[in-house]
Amino acid sequence: MTGADVTERKCLEEQLRQAHKLEAIGQLAAGIAHEINTPAQYVGDNTRFLKESSEPILGLLSFCRNMQQEAAEKGSVSMESLAEFDRLSEECDFGFLAQEIPHAIDQSLEGLQRVAKIVRAMKDFAHPGSEEKLPVDINRGIEATVTVARAEWKDVADVVLDLAPDLPMVLGLGGELNQVILNVIVNAAHAIGELVKDGSRAKGRITIVTRRAGHCVELRVEDNGAGIPEKIRSRVFDPFFTSKPVGKGTGQGLAVAHAIVVKGHKGQIWFDTKVGQGTTFFIRLPLEARGQTAAE
């Protein structure tokens, strides 16, 4: 193979990775929009409720000032004023508002926190990658990716995180490693989704574990989905191979993950699977920047 051929091949591989990244972001976009829209919607509903509730309350408060002025000037409050006060108080429905207003405020704050969390996760996940390898916090990448991919897994599985708090950072390309994590999580969700769709399981579980393994950081993504049939196991990491129906997958997810881990980061990626019981993907990344931890 000539130098020109090698250059062209590397260029094509880079274009493939970029194309797949754009495809993945496009697939996530609708889900992310829904995840943001849901809390935004009830923040909007609660804000309208608070606006409507404020009108009778402000009217009553204004009338109370008039009553105070009347009492100061005349030494008493007329029966007409007391009757009007009772009418305005009944219109406010204090019992209902005293219960619902704090609930509406708490729910709105929770919604805003949810939106802020999604935006932070999107920023962490889609941050423009540097061509230079830098210390990467794998745990933070997992948390961000789980958040932005929530629409992919929330209806079919619960996600359990078991992340080592003292996990060392790895020297790598953060954006590409997030892409690997995304591909494996989405693959796990789809594997469980097959069983949920045909009624074999109500809901599954995806467990994500990080640990130090000698001079490497190890990431495990375990699902209790359909497992990988023996006849296709040798082709899982092949470019353009997919067992999904036409239009449901390009077959690039795990191929790109393999290229990023093995070629880009000199790491390892493999899996253990049992049909009908599930699959565990293992990713090991070498520790080239020792002495730093994710907490630093």
When the pLDDT of each residue in the chain is averaged and rounded to a whole number, the result is: 82
pLDDT digits (tens, 9 = 90+) for 262-285: 988 999 999 999 998 999 999 999
pLDDT digits (tens, 9 = 90+) for 99-127: 898 989 998 998 898 888 888 877 777 66
Structure-model confidence comparison of residues 190 and 95, the more confident one: 190
- The two structure tokens encoding residue 53: 């509730």
In angstroms, rounded to a whole number, what is the distance separating the alpha carbons of residues 147 and 199?
Answer: 26
Residue type, 135: P
Contact 212, 131 (CB under 8 A): no
According to the model, what pLDDT value does residue 94 have?
A: 79
- No. of helices (H) and no. of strands (E), the chain: 8, 7
| C-alpha distance from residue 52 to each of 24, 101, 104, 105, 195 (Å) | 42, 11, 13, 14, 47
Q: First-to-last CA distance in the chain? A: 45
* pLDDT for residue 138 is more than 90: yes
User: Residue 57 belongs to what H/E stretch?
Assistant: helix 3-74
Give the DSSP letter of residue 260.
I
* pLDDT for residue 98 is more than 70: yes
Contact 170, 102 (CB under 8 A): no
Average pLDDT estimate for 68-92: 81
Give the DSSP letter of residue 75.
S
| C-alpha distance from residue 221 to each of 21, 65, 242 (Å) | 20, 64, 19
Residue whose pair of structure tokens reads 């699959």 in the numeric block: 279
What confidence tier does 153 reach under pLDDT thresholds 50, 70, 90?
very high
According to the model, what pLDDT value does residue 294 have?
A: 45
Average pLDDT estimate for 20-47: 77
pTM of model > 0.75? no
According to the model, what pLDDT value does residue 159 have?
A: 97
What confidence tier does 289 reach under pLDDT thresholds 50, 70, 90?
very low
Give the torsion sign (CA, 134, 138, 144, 145): positive
Q: Which residues contact 8 (CB under 8 A, 6 or more apart)?
A: none
Residues of the chain with CATH 3.30.565.10: 130-286
Structure-model confidence comparison of residues 194 and 184, the more confident one: 184
Q: For the sheet containing 204-213, what is the strand order?
A: 157-163, 204-213, 216-223, 278-286, 268-274
Residue type, 165: P
Q: Which superfamily is assigned to 130-286 in CATH?
A: Histidine kinase-like ATPase, C-terminal domain (3.30.565.10)
What confidence tier does 129 reach under pLDDT thresholds 50, 70, 90?
low
* pLDDT for residue 248 is more than 60: no
Q: Which ranges constitute the DSSP H helices of 75-93?
A: 79-92
* pLDDT for residue 12 is more than 90: no
According to the model, what pLDDT value does residue 99 have?
A: 87
